[in-house]
A and B are shown apart, each in its own frame.
Chain A
């Protein structure tokens, strides 16, 4: 089934012509942003010199750090009264990354998700429980608007209270769920304990963190769903950027809306189909916040054309990151953010270690940090107070609950050269 058959199956010269036209439009739109005006004139790029898609290599990359430097509205190409929504996502340090949307942007985004869900056979007759965070996180509202566009029944259950989530699936006859794969695993365990078969479920949409084929078969068996991988990031609207079709061999990244490159993260050179590298995306229809050659940091590859479903460009499932970003329960965390938070707390030093584990299928992050002797009285109560403070500051800064262990000054490893402060012990075993 198709939501927008013409665009989804566009091919050859017609597709190229559309992409080229939209690329030029996007470059023009980007010239309303001070950063891009400077950046392009600095690189001596003029929109008139962009004739083909290959010319895109003349344009410099945009990095997450650039967005941070533009905080808060430096990347908006329209006046604020045309911006109807703002989302934020974790930045590399203190300040978040701000993303703005015009009404047209919201509509484009909802269209993408409508395409994705229609592609996997979900229709207006389906009942959809959206078990991800609403609010500033784009996962909740993104899928909510897409499902509403299709005319599904939406249960905006958000996260937490697993027992009640299961009761709602049962009582409302929910057919389709959306959550992180690790939460789905947790849900299936609790359902088993409650002896709830969850018979009504048919389709599981899982994303916001990397997951494997092993996890897929396990989830399908336990929940009785067909499981689909969903990919997206807030800078490119949010979830819905790329999505598996029923073939489940790679994710279709909507070719009329996103221009895809895979580059060698070290040299910035384009790689050919089938070679793994960093995903770089130029969104072709963004109005409020156009981006040119945005480096996502995600490692994947372009796949060959010719999917049986007749849709276009596919990328492989995400296999890693080109930087040190972690994904903890669907939330992006940069070690630099942790450092930034700790620097603000005088009671602790700035040496730290991060351990990531799976406990009952859910990610747990433990931060070891050294006490600062000058601020430590030796009282146990004082220790508890400092620990609580660090937990709270980390929660506020990262939007994430962590476990904090206070350790003796000087006991954490010191690094010469590149610090290795993160030990990820999750492996593949969800």
Chain B
């Protein structure tokens, strides 16, 4: 099958934009009438739904930021009642409180449809065996891909993360043709496979990688494709948008953002001005079909550019380039988003340590490794190694609970970490892609 929904995917651009305009207009009316959050925001910005006459009038609407979700924890922005909510996902917020995303049945359906189109566009379908090696549970990667793969009629192998040798064994024995995971995890799988004498190219049926949740490069793509004998595709999404939503097509030139589902803008992060196609800026999305947690002009924080030209695959929907960086200090560790502010917040709840810390990120083999160096308080400084070990274990445990990712902790003497005047540089990222 070439297209999951050819009518929409190959619709002439002008018609698509008309459709977007209609969807935007009704979204704005709905939120102005029923969402106190958006109503107030529009009032503050002095904009009324009647002011939206064309698609480009979206510029008049206020932005939304990740901090808005935190400030309205857990569900104050939701526009669906409890009866209509069928799912919650939770991701780490910028500080203490997590970000909560609610879904109605229609939201799950839109999300799944988006992925069904995407997976079809990379040639997957009935007859494929898709190994979903993203984490299942509150993280959207696992269940998202799971539902998408199920929708296109593929055989789903819900292996989730971890136990790499077992993953390779199942890939081989159950004939997985595609795998969804982070690019660094696939590299790790490749390395472990070599170690145990499995040649992914010759000994398995794997031919497609659906790779995302962290940035990667063309160089990594070429390396993985040659080494493992697969085609590697970029997948994009964040939990605020529902989860992983969009992938590249077989042309491998940017991920298609379905225009009937999302409206893409590239914004100058400093001025908030819209940028032209081909100009680099902050990816901003308005989700046109979302019931429980509507998103208007959500500033995602990822830096990239958009390409409006019709793709060689025939799809008319805009393509967004690989993510090239962040506007803020967010780190991605093994596919999980980590903000230095979360680390700071967590350390402040532990009396034995001070507020001075440094995050060192490295790659061990193919996998990310995060080390948090923390200064002990003068009072807690002790010669007894067991005391220090207990404190270190406690800090590691707390960080893991808040960040949902393992961090190694090194306790250092009071006053030994560098101090900064002006903007502090608390993160040392030694990874190279």
- A168 to B86 CA separation, bound complex (whole angstroms): 15
B412 on the interface (CB 8 Å rule)? no
Within 8 A of B (CB), among A125-180: 125, 127, 134-136, 140-141, 144, 148, 151-158, 161, 163-164, 168, 171-172
Are the CB atoms of A125 and B83 closer together than 8 Å? yes
Kindly state the separation between the CA atoms of A171 and B157 in the bound complex, as whole angstroms: 33
B271 within 8 A of A: no
Residues of A within 8 A of B6 (CB): none
* Interface of chain B: mostly helix, strand, loop or mixed: mixed
Nearest chain-A residue to B161 (Cβ)? A135
Once the chains bind, are B160 and A134 in contact (CB under 8 Å)? Answer: yes
B23 to chain A, nearest CB (A): 26
CB distance B74 to A171 under 8 Å?
yes
Segment of B61-69, B166-174, B317-325, B416-424 in the binding face: B166-174
User: B158: which of A83, A85, A125 is its contact (CB, 8 Å)?
Assistant: A85
Residue interface bits B81-92, CB-to-A below 8 A is 1, else 0: 011011111100
Q: Which residue of A156, A161, A172 has the most chain B CB atoms within 10 A of its CB atom?
A: A156
The verdict on A87 contacting chain B, using a C-beta distance below 8 Å, is yes
Partner of A71, one of B87, B150, B173: B173
Q: How far is the CA of A134 from the CA of B156 in the complex (A)?
A: 13
Q: Which residue of A lies closest to B157 (CB)?
A: A86
Contact B138 A156 (CB under 8 A): yes
Does B93 count as interface, using CB distance less than 8 angstroms? no
0/1 string, B128-163, CB within 8 A of A gives 1: 010000001110001100100010011111111001
Closest A residue by C-beta to B156:
A85
**Contact status A84-B136, CB under 8 Å:** no
Residues of B within 8 A of A141 (CB): 136, 146, 158
Contact A135 B159 (CB under 8 A): yes
Q: Which residue of chain B has its CB nearest to the CB of A86? A: B157
Known: A88-B170, A153-B88, A156-B143. A136 touches B160 (CB 8 A): yes
Chain A residues near B401 (CB-CB < 8 A): 161, 163-164
Q: Does A98 contact B (CB under 8 A)?
A: yes
User: B105 an interface residue at 8 Å Cβ cutoff?
Assistant: yes
Decide if B150 touches A84 in the complex (CB within 8 Å): yes
* Interface status of B127 (Cβ within 8 A of chain A): yes
Task: Establish whether residues B90 and A168, one from each chain, have CB atoms under 8 Å apart when the complex forms.
Answer: yes
Whether A399 sits at the interface, judged by CB under 8 Å, is: yes
Q: How many Å lie between the Cα of A136 and that of B159 in the bound state?
A: 5
The answer to whether the Cβ of A66 comes within 8 Å of any Cβ in the partner chain is no
Residue of A nearest to B128 (CB): A81
Q: How far is the CB of A173 from chain B (nearest CB, A)?
A: 8
Task: Provide the main secondary structure of the chain A interface.
Answer: mixed
Question: B126 at the A/B interface (Cβ < 8 Å)?
Answer: yes
Smallest CB separation, A104 vs chain B (Å):
13
On whether the beta carbons of A154 and B158 are closer than 8 Å, the reply is no
Instruction: List A contacts of B146 (CB < 8 A).
Output: 141
CB neighbours (8 Å) of A221 from chain B are none
Contact partner, B126, options A72, A81, A172, Cβ 8 Å: A81
- Asked whether B329 is an interface residue with its Cβ less than 8 Å from the other chain, the reply is no
Query: Is B279 on the interface with A (CB-CB < 8 A)?
Result: no
Which residues from chain A contact B308 at a C-beta distance below 8 Å? none
Does A80 belong to the interface (CB within 8 Å)? yes
Complex contact B86–A148 (CB within 8 A): yes
Q: Please state if A395 and B74 are interface contacts (CB–CB under 8 Å).
A: no
B165 at the interface (CB under 8 A from A): yes
**Chain A residues within 8 Å of B157, by CB:** 86
Total A residues in contact with B, Cβ cutoff 8 Å: 43
Q: What are the residues of chain B within 8 A of A269 when measuring CB–CB?
A: none
When the two chains form their complex, are residues A80 and B129 in contact, meaning their CB atoms are under 8 A apart? yes
Chain A residue contacts of B88, Cβ below 8 A = 153-155, 168, 172
A396 within 8 A of B: yes
Contacts of B158 in A (CB 8 A): 85, 87, 134-136, 141
Select which of B86, B100, B102, B150 is within 8 A of A151 by beta carbon.
B86
- Whether a CB of chain B sits under 8 angstroms from the CB of A124 is yes
* C-alpha gap A71/B142 in the complex (Å): 26
| A395 to B163 Cα, complex, angstroms | 8
- A153-B87, A171-B74 in contact; A158/B127 too (CB < 8 A)? no
Scan A75-106; emit 1 where CB is below 8 A from any B CB, else 0: 00000110111111000000110101001000
- Name the residue of chain B whose CB is nearest to the CB of A147: B86
Q: Which residue of B lies closest to A125 (CB)?
A: B83
Nearest to A173 among chain B residues (CB) is B82
With beta carbons under 8 angstroms apart, the residue of B100, B154, B160, B163 that contacts A396 is B163
A125 to B86, alpha carbons, bound, how many Å? 10
Interface positions of B from 157 to 215, Cβ below 8 Å from A? 157-160, 163, 165-166, 170, 173-175
Chain A residues with Cβ below 8 Å from B74 are: 171-172
> Which residues of the other chain, A, contact B175 by a CB distance below 8 angstroms?
80
Distance of B257 from chain A, by nearest CB (Å): 26
B166 closest partner in A (C-beta):
A396
B406: min CB distance to chain A, Å: 12
- The minimal Cβ–Cβ distance linking B395 to chain A, given in whole angstroms, is 15
A134 and B174 within 8 A (CB): no
Residues in chain A near residue B75, CB distance under 8 A: 172
Shortest CB–CB separation between residue B183 and chain A, in angstroms?
20
B405 to chain A, nearest CB (A): 12
Q: Which residue of A lies closest to B146 (CB)?
A: A141
Residues of A within 8 A of B87 (CB): 148, 153-156
A347-406 contacts to B, CB under 8 A, are: 395-396, 399
Which of chain A's residues has its CB closest to B172's CB? A72
Q: A135-B160, A396-B165 are in contact. List 13 more A-B contacts (CB 8 A).
A: A81-B126, A85-B150, A86-B156, A87-B158, A103-B153, A144-B143, A154-B86, A156-B87, A161-B404, A168-B88, A171-B74, A172-B75, A399-B163
- List the interface of chain A (C-beta within 8 A of B): 71-73, 80-81, 83-88, 95-96, 98, 100, 103, 124-125, 127, 134-136, 140-141, 144, 148, 151-158, 161, 163-164, 168, 171-172, 395-396, 399
Show the binding face of B for A, using Cβ within 8 Å.
Answer: 73-75, 82-83, 85-90, 98, 100, 102, 105, 126-127, 129, 136-138, 142-143, 146, 150, 153-160, 163, 165-166, 170, 173-175, 400-401, 404
9 tightest A-B CB contacts, nearest first: A135-B160, A134-B136, A158-B137, A81-B127, A153-B85, A155-B88, A72-B173, A83-B155, A135-B136
16 contacts between A and B (CB under 8 A): A80-B175, A85-B156, A124-B83, A134-B158, A135-B159, A136-B160, A141-B158, A153-B102, A154-B87, A155-B88, A156-B137, A158-B137, A161-B401, A168-B88, A168-B90, A396-B165
